[in-house]
């Protein structure tokens, strides 16, 4: 019985997420908007929608595999995106988007480059970037939970898209609330010290401090800012320490 209830819940969640993306697509991309674009792999891959698909691939594979519901959502996204390139090119664009996704999902070193490129392509339209980030968060939640790897990756992408920690927190909170307290936990007093938190803090306060620290010390962000190799190495260890502390606190508060 619980399996059936879980399936129904995930199905309803999927419908909510899919409808959210449809609203985004209708608001920002009209049918045929990019029909003057040369329809070849490089042209599509370098368009803002192609770069967005590449980032979608990173988030979908962040926890090691692409969930069935994620694949379904992405498939529908390809159909919608292809319409923006005109009716005569839809099938070809859809195949190109599939190829972009296939190639990018297993590459982990170019996230900062892609996010920076998307920022440049959508400069002056922060609302569009917020909607894109919302879709990435939607995608991460579609299998019923936000993994640690997905969360770290989204925080990193948001930083390069110049979206604040408070804005990321607000979007994530909307989805966290849908799971009725998918909250998390701590244990050792040292873990609270690492996060600069108090034992009396609620989980959302702790989570906000955790995300701010990940953004501050993320080695890829440090590298993009020109930090030295030694500093990046220390930052990597710091992020591991932050992640461990946060997991301990989540277990305590569960």
pLDDT in tens, 196-228: 999 899 988 999 999 999 888 887 788 778 888
Place of tokens 């953004």: 215
pLDDT(108) > 50: yes
Question: Per the domain annotation, does 160 fall within a domain?
Answer: no
For residues 116 and 229, state if they share a domain.
no
pLDDT for the residue numbered 86: 77
For residues 232 and 120, state if they share a domain.
no
For residues 9 and 122, state if they share a domain.
yes
Question: Per the domain annotation, does 162 fall within a domain?
Answer: no
| 3-state secondary structure (DSSP) of residue 141 | helix
**Model confidence band, residue 24 (pLDDT cutoffs 50, 70, 90):** low
Q: Is 180 exposed, middle or buried (0-12, 13-18, 19+ CB in 10 A)?
A: exposed
For residues 42 and 87, state if they share a domain.
yes
For residues 23 and 110, state if they share a domain.
yes
- Residue 184: CA count within 13 A, CB half-sphere: 19
Cβ atoms of residues 143 and 65 within 8 Å = no
The CATH number for 206's domain is 1.10.287.110
For residues 238 and 136, state if they share a domain.
no
For residues 145 and 187, state if they share a domain.
no
The number of domains in the chain is 2
For residues 118 and 16, state if they share a domain.
yes
pLDDT for the residue numbered 15: 52
pLDDT for the residue numbered 23: 53
**Model confidence band, residue 28 (pLDDT cutoffs 50, 70, 90):** low
For residues 148 and 200, state if they share a domain.
no
Burial pattern 223-253, b for ≥16 Cβ within 10 A else e, equals: ebeeeeeeebeebeebbebbbebbbbbbeeb
Question: Per the domain annotation, does 178 fall within a domain?
Answer: no
Question: Per the domain annotation, does 161 fall within a domain?
Answer: no
pLDDT, the chain, mean: 81
């Amino acid at each position: 019985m619980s399996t059936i209830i879980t399936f129904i819940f995930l199905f309803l969640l999927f419908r909510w997420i899919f409808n959210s993306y449809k609203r985004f697509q209708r608001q920002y991309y009209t049918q045929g908007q990019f029909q003057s674009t040369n329809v070849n792999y490089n042209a599509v891959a370098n368009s803002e929608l192609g770069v967005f698909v590449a980032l979608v691939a990173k988030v979908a594979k962040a926890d090691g595999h692409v969930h069935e519901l994620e694949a379904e959502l992405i498939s529908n996204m390809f159909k919608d995106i292809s319409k923006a390139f005109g009716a005569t090119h839809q099938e070809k664009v859809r195949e190109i988007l599939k190829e972009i996704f296939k190639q990018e999902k297993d590459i982990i070193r170019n996230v900062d480059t892609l996010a920076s490129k998307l920022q440049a392509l959508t400069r002056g339209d922060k609302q569009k970037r917020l909607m894109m980030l919302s879709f990435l968060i939607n995608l991460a939640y579609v299998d019923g939970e936000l993994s640690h790897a997905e969360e770290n990756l989204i925080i990193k992408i948001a930083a390069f898209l110049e979206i604040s920690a408070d804005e990321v927190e607000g979007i994530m909170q909307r989805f966290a609330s849908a799971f009725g307290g998918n909250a998390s936990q701590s244990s050792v007093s040292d873990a609270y010290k690492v996060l600069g938190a108090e034992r009396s803090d609620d989980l959302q306060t702790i989570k906000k401090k955790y995300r701010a620290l990940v953004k501050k010390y993320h080695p890829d962000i440090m590298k993009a800012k020109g930090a030295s190799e030694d500093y990046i190495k220390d930052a990597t260890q710091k992020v591991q320490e932050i992640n461990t502390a946060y997991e301990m606190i989540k277990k305590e508060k569960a």
